[in-house]
Amino acid sequence: MAGSTITAGKKAGTPLPATYVTASGLPRYHPVSQALHWVTAALALAVLPLAWVAVSLPPAPAKGSLFVLHKSVGLTILAIVVLRIVWRMIRPASTDPLAPRLLTLIGRVNHGLLYAIFLIMPISGYLLSALSGRDTPYFWLFTIPGLTKDEGAQKIAESIHLVGQWFVYALVLLNVAATIWHLVIRRDGLLERMLPVQDGRGSR
């Protein structure tokens, strides 16, 4: 009901206006956090197939175009993750007061690892290209200059990039599995906290 207040969790705390919470009574993530989360997820789902297809193609203009898209999406992910980290520092995410401490800790560790791998992968990918002496076009809008050719450092970047992809697969699958567990087993409204308001109420 508009104008009513809901206290998040059983513990005493500052009542939150009903417009700030989900149907389950938990604080909804800020719209900026929601937008950054879903844009990152969409780009992560795009960057992997672009690499798979590009690698499988024979040398041709289409192969080069797909690699440009792959690198551009990767650099966009890098920029958004940096923005997410800064945003988290400015506005920390609200926690579920009913969640066990271990569950909260696991969630934080998972997010930290996701941030780390989404920083490591674009940086290693850029170095893999730049250390060959090549410039990196960004969506054909502008070009990021390459670096002095260094085969030894390039091989290190390549190894990091190749190994890192398996961490991406593992962490993304873990994140999806955790979301399903929260949705189907625990039923704690976690997914709703990350979705825009759909029932006429506002967001925190």
Instruction: Give the three-class secondary structure for 160.
Output: helix
Asked whether the beta carbons of 76 and 41 are under 8 A apart, the reply is: no
> What is the pTM for the complete model shown?
0.81
pLDDT digits (tens, 9 = 90+) for 10-43: 344 455 444 466 666 677 788 898 899 999 999 9
> Is the model's pLDDT at 3 over the cut of 80?
no
How far does the chain reach from its first CA to its final CA, in angstroms?
16
CA angle 64, 68, 71 (to 5 degrees): 135
Phi-psi region of 16 (alpha: psi -120 to 50; beta: other; left: phi over 0): beta
> Is the model's pLDDT at 202 over the cut of 60?
no
Tokens of 46: 């795009």
pLDDT digits (tens, 9 = 90+) for 81-122: 999 999 999 988 776 666 778 877 888 898 899 999 999 999
Helices (H) and strands (E) in the chain, counts: 5, 4
pLDDT at position 9: 41
d(CA 113, CA 172): 10
pLDDT at position 201: 47
pLDDT at position 108: 85
